[in-house]
Structure 1
Amino acid sequence: MERTPDKNKQIQSLAPGSGITPDYHDLVSNFELSYKATPSTEQLTSLIHYHECFELILYVSADIEAYIDDTHYNLHTHDVLIVPPRKLHKIVYPQPQNYIRYVFYFTGEHIEKAFDSHKASKALNLFMDQTYQKASLSVREFLRINYIMRNMYEHISEDQKQDMHLLNTYSSLILQELYIIFVSRPPADTTNKILSPVEQILKYINDHYSENITLEELEEKFYLNKSYICRIFRKTMGISLINYIQHKRILEAQQMLLTTDASIINISLECGFSNLQHFYRVFKKMTDLTPNEYKKNQSRTKLGQPILLQSFKEQQT
């Protein structure tokens, strides 16, 4: 359920010089729904970003592109897209258009509430699976899920004394419908897909972020000039290649801090940092916290508190 954030109350910068702009969303009962309509006369821009929760987008009217981790998607009217937690992603708007969509944020805990224990595990795995992140809906499928979202959003917008039981029912129905839609389809076959240079580089970073990645190495690997690699990556992703690699490594380090008992020095090495001081410096710059502070703060975060939806753009130098 969405309560539009007061822009005057939003934190304007997470860390001096970090290039990260946080955006707080009020998550109540582990879900949030918004409706967004952008006319063709409005200039659309998108920063590469990630969320701490799942993001589901139902495209009522759209002709756009998206990068999720190392995968590129063409998205059109009546498509649905799932972005799992902590996946770097960016929307690309190739032309002016009337862009209309519902955006539904939910957590793993909400999946557990929407399904019985056996199916909840299957649903969680399905929603995390890269081969099931996009579906083009039939008219019937679109009308069904659009009906649920529209009614839920109207209830949120019009009723100040909101019936949480009803909203929970709506949100569970959304996830159940989504599960039915995705299990009825085969996984996407990407074996013969021709990847663009940027997709190839993104995939290489995902597979090798724990290693020392150099421009010379990429130049030799992809038979592309170093300057061209830097230029095309920045043009497509809106961020420099080096900055992207650092963010990818810090995201993986955050995940290890929260899910393992590995020492900080081992985490830094596993995430591609050969120097512990450099790891601390980059981590602090991007999160405004030391690794120890991050682990302590995150472990104290309780359900129902605002979840930080972070977006970032490269610091201008």
Structure 2
Amino acid sequence: MDHPVKWQDSYVASKHITILTGEQLKIPGVRVFGKQHMTSAVSPLSTHYHENAYEFVLVSEGSFTFTVGDETYDVSGGDVFLSFPNELHSTAQSPLSLGGFFWIQLDISVMDNFLFLSEEARGHLIEALSSMTAHVIKAENSALVSLCKKTFKLALENEAYAAASHFVYLIYAILEASKKISSVRTEDIQQVINYIHDHVTHDISLYDLAHLSNLSLSHFKQKFKKQIGVSPRNYINIQKIELAKKLLKEGKSKTETAMLLGFNTSSYFSSVFKKYTTKTPSEYTK
């Protein structure tokens, strides 16, 4: 894998790509809002992450492939690809093909006047975002694209307050679309989700989960990813790492945390932790 880069966009205004940064947007919490249209394929995006920021990539037309860890996600017109704060992602070796997309980087480390919201409203929005687990949100129509185009137009016109209100609406629309993924969970997959949450400190076997759902391992993995948006192993690791963050902040050592979460060795725990956060446990607690 290429060396991960802490990605930082710069202002660009050209025929096929426009990137607005915080300096142009003047909306607290919106680090970047970009739009790109490809008439021919361009080079793949290398492995990178966005410090303390969610990134929403909303595809307006065409199809694109993104990679998170060992997982590959195909998105097409109307879909949203979501990367979480500090999460490594790329387009692997897949060039950006014909088509277009918007992208928004939402910096959740901004505390004051976030999207011009009150402290309570900011807290509600951040909590809602933290409940998301899927990397791909599929919209049923082009409403998200239309809303994103309108928001971008307002941003270009320096209408910061109007654009911010549209950002809030757009984010909640994406959240609502993501809930529809959860709402179609079948009973067997929901049972597996409950089991993972109840046994997150254990060494959870995919074979046991497949047996619990009365499916073959391959069928179970396919069905889980289709309904949840990530592979079962990825989902388990996400839950473990979220709990690990809390334990480390509470003063547990790396070794204690690894043992509590069912990792075989502290070195393996450290490698998984860094894969999902870009930091080692020691770096995280500094």
> Fold match, TM over 0.5?
yes
The 8 Å contact of residues 87 and 278 in structure 2, kept in 1 or not, is answered as: no
Alignment of 1:1-80 (within 5 A): 19=1, 21-26=3-8, 29=22, 30=29, 31-38=31-38, 52-63=52-63, 76-80=76-80
Cα distance, 1:23 vs structure 2: 2.0
SS of residue paired to 1:136: coil
Q: Does 1:210 align with 2:201?
A: yes
Q: Name the structure 2 match of 1:188.
A: 180
Mean Cα displacement is larger for which, 202-211 or 97-106? 202-211
- How far apart are the structure 2 equivalents of 1:176 and 1:42? 31
Find 2:260's aligned residue among 249, 266, 270.
270
- How far apart are the structure 2 equivalents of 1:284 and 1:192? 32
Alignment of 1:54-133 (within 5 A): 54-63=54-63, 76-80=76-80, 82-85=82-85, 98-110=98-110, 112-114=113-115, 115-130=117-132
Change (3 A) 1:196 1:67: farther
RMSD of aligned residue pairs (Cα, Å): 5.7
Find 2:169's aligned residue among 166, 177, 195.
177
Q: Deviations over 1:28-68 (max 9, x none)?
A: 65512233334576697998988742112222114568899
Q: Structure 1-normalised TM-score?
A: 0.53
The 8 Å contact of residues 40 and 97 in structure 1, kept in 2 or not, is answered as: yes
Q: Deviations over 1:285-312 (max 9, x none)?
A: 988965323321xxxxxxxxxxxxxxxx
SS of residue paired to 1:125: helix
Equivalent AA in structure 2 for residue 113 of structure 1: F
Equivalent AA in structure 2 for residue 295 of structure 1: T
Change (3 A) 1:135 1:63: same
- How far apart are the structure 2 equivalents of 1:150 and 1:248? 36
SS of residue paired to 1:130: coil
The 8 Å contact of residues 65 and 74 in structure 2, kept in 1 or not, is answered as: yes
Equivalent AA in structure 1 for residue 169 of structure 2: E
* Structure 1, unpaired ranges of 5+: 1-18, 156-165, 297-317
- How far apart are the structure 2 equivalents of 1:22 and 1:104? 20
Structure with the bigger RCO (C-alpha within 8 Å, sep 6+) is 1
Equivalent AA in structure 1 for residue 7 of structure 2: H
Change (3 A) 1:100 1:170: farther
* Structure 2, unpaired ranges of 5+: 10-20, 23-28
Mean Cα displacement is larger for which, 31-40 or 216-225? 216-225
Report the identity percentage: 16
Q: Deviations over 1:248-270 (max 9, x none)?
A: 47743663366433333332123
Change (3 A) 1:247 1:148: same
Mean Cα displacement is larger for which, 42-51 or 133-142? 42-51
SS of residue paired to 1:120: helix
